[in-house]
Structure 1
Amino acid sequence: MSEWKAFSVEVADGVARVTLTGPGKGNAMGPDFWQELPEIFAELDGDASVRSVVLTGAGKHFSFGLDLAAMAGTLAPVLADDAKAAPRTEFLREIRRMQASVTALAECSKPVIAAISGWCIGGGLDLIAAADIRLASADAKFSLREAKVAIVADIGSLHRLPGIIGEGNLRELAFTAKDIDAARAERMGLVNEVFEDQEAVLAAAHAMAREIADNPPLVVQGIKDVLEHRTSPAVTDGLRYVSTWNAAFLPSKDLTEAITAVFQKRAPEFKGE
């Protein structure tokens, strides 16, 4: 495997372990994350020795989501008061590039099991929604946080989660941007099972990955292909729609206020502008 800045990758006995490593606090998703994620899963997809994948986060948390500080340069041009077609078009391309990064996980022919501990926020939820199976430790917390920072989630949560947790649960999480614990996540079907701690959930994820790896690999990959064929057209259409919507409507005074409030460590004051 290649050397990575935002991940570490280990392969043993047919199972690959992909670990988010940052470098942002809480494994936040900066430029290296978005570039390397599709490259990693392309390599795993083409490696016949890999039959299943465990995805997890280094340290106490899975991911704090988008690294706003590291990605500020992406938002700055389109937030300008005079932003016209050129910066909006470039922003549209950037959204679709980020979408494609997460979609690479969903499209990987090898089943992916997410092992989640601590916080899984925003982009972290987009990421685990693209996994095939999700397991959590008892301390895991989840938040579809985008509404609180004046953003319409556009990397996949709104399109992949309906089939996982149902419309009602998704709308509650998306509209309120509330935090939920592992027990609530298990009840709504976001995670298959909750384990005592991080060590236990990682052990369970590897045991399940090993169980998958022991099955005929081409059959397992065929099952995933058939399942993805059922859902991917709607997801693809939805991602294109939300990327276009955000390129047109995401830039706002509320978004600027949200970002400013994050850096000033205060509550934002939204005015619908």
Structure 2
Amino acid sequence: MASAFETAWTCFEVTLQDRVAHIRLNRPEAFNSMNRAFWNELPAIVDDISDNARARVIVISSTGRHFTAGMDLQNFAGVGGGGGGTGEGPRRPDIAGEASRAHLESLQDAFSCLDRARMPVIAAIQGGCVGGGVDLTAACDIRYASAEAFFCIQEINIGMTADAGTFPRLCRLIPQGWVRELAYTGRRLPAEAAREIGLVNAVLPDPEAVVAHALAVAREIAAKSPLAVAGSKVMINYAREHDTETALDYLRVWQAGMFPAADMAETFKARQEGREPDFPDLRPVHRGM
């Protein structure tokens, strides 16, 4: 099977340099809206990079004026609808609702793959980060934005509730009052305000600068022990979902089985020898048989 870097994707461009995988949303003529192909391609790309340890860090950026305009609703007309069965029987909204739930689970999973990735994921955001773009970036480990960037929970403006991951993740990233104001009003949150409330780590002058900054941070992370970085991501994600004592116990279990003693020894040796440490990559994992 071709790797993520060897495949011609419809919605993305994927490159690898300095152990950093760079995924670019690549439909600028459509404001990088999320069509059907997007939802299939993103998890395929991220899972391939993660499962095969093809990179040590992933950076997600975009092209054109906006990071993304969010979901392309024209591609989802009729999904989960219909009569809920075959034949001439009465409509069954309950059966149609079950199908809609299953479909929504697949959309949510397209962003949950970023949480599951074994390496950190950094978002470099320019222009509008609208609707599903908020879902996507909220699932990343680190977010940077350009000065003109803005975030918008657009769903309320079209008469629906955001459902692909915004609320479960955003409520852990920024104060709940901000989540509620943005969700209820559909207002734009400018980049500098996003930095002030902790949604983004830094604001850079322009789109080129934000991508350069994200890649520089990614290269810095890629120089560290991949095992230690992976462990840090696992622990942070676990602590986010559990109480302190449970998270401490899980940390003890992780360290008991995966303490990177060899990487620590390499770090000290490299310092003594005046060189950069050389760490092994994570091993590929195989799904199924």
TM over 0.5: yes
Q: How many residues matched?
A: 233
Structure 2 counterpart of 1:220: 229
Alignment partner of 1:99 is 2:111: no
Alignment partner of 1:33 is 2:42: no
Query: In structure 1, what is the Cα distance between the partners aligned to 2:83 and 2:72?
Result: 17
1:65 to 70, 74, 79: 70
CA contact (8 A) 2:28 2:64 kept: no
Query: In structure 2, what is the Cα distance between the partners aligned to 1:19 and 1:107?
Result: 19
CA contact (8 A) 1:141 1:179 kept: yes
Letter of the 1:36 partner, please give it: E
Q: 1:71 to 1:232 in 2, by over 3 A?
A: farther
1:11 to 12, 16, 24: 16
> Secondary structure of the residue that 2:203 maps to in structure 1?
strand
Query: In structure 1, what is the Cα distance between the partners aligned to 2:191 and 2:83?
Result: 36
Structure 2 counterpart of 1:240: none
CA contact (8 A) 2:82 2:91 kept: no
Query: In structure 2, what is the Cα distance between the partners aligned to 1:68 and 1:24?
Result: 16
Kindly state the Cα deviation for residue 232 of structure 1 after the two structures are TM-superposed: 4.8
Kindly state the Cα deviation for residue 77 of structure 1 after the two structures are TM-superposed: 3.5
> Secondary structure of the residue that 1:60 maps to in structure 2?
coil
Structure 2 counterpart of 1:53: 58
The aligned runs of 1:186-197 (5 Å cut-off) are: 186-197=195-206
2:119 to 110, 118, 136: 110
Q: Which has the larger radius of gyration?
A: 2
Q: Return 185-194 or 121-130, whichever deviates more.
A: 185-194
Alignment partner of 1:44 is 2:49: yes
Query: In structure 1, what is the Cα distance between the partners aligned to 2:128 and 2:226?
Result: 33
CA contact (8 A) 1:30 1:66 kept: yes
Report Cα offsets for 1:198-236 as digits up to 9, x if no partner: 0100000000000100100010011001111123579xx
Query: In structure 1, what is the Cα distance between the partners aligned to 2:43 and 2:28?
Result: 18
Report Cα offsets for 1:57-91 as digits up to 9, x if no partner: 12121100010112223265489x94522221111
Letter of the 1:42 partner, please give it: D
Structure 2 counterpart of 1:162: 171
Alignment partner of 1:124 is 2:133: yes
CA contact (8 A) 2:40 2:110 kept: yes
Report Cα offsets for 1:8-63 as digits up to 9, x if no partner: 11011100000112377110011111111111111110233400011011212110
Letter of the 1:209 partner, please give it: A
Q: 1:176 to 1:23 in 2, by over 3 A?
A: same
Q: TM-score, normalised by structure 1?
A: 0.81
Query: In structure 1, what is the Cα distance between the partners aligned to 2:215 and 2:147?
Result: 17
Alignment partner of 1:175 is 2:184: yes
Kindly state the Cα deviation for residue 116 of structure 1 after the two structures are TM-superposed: 0.2
The aligned runs of 1:67-82 (5 Å cut-off) are: 67-74=72-79, 76-77=81-82, 82=91
Query: In structure 1, what is the Cα distance between the partners aligned to 2:152 and 2:100?
Result: 25
Alignment partner of 1:209 is 2:214: no
> Secondary structure of the residue that 1:199 maps to in structure 2?
helix
Higher helix share: 1
Gaps of 5+ in 2: 85-89, 244-289
Letter of the 1:66 partner, please give it: M
Letter of the 1:199 partner, please give it: E
Q: What's the C-alpha RMSD, in Å, of the aligned pairs?
A: 2.0
Q: TM-score, normalised by structure 2?
A: 0.76
Structure 2 counterpart of 1:145: 154
Structure 1 counterpart of 2:95: 86
Letter of the 1:4 partner, please give it: W
Query: In structure 1, what is the Cα distance between the partners aligned to 2:226 and 2:155?
Result: 37
Q: 1:168 to 1:217 in 2, by over 3 A?
A: same
Percent of residue pairs bearing the same amino acid type: 38
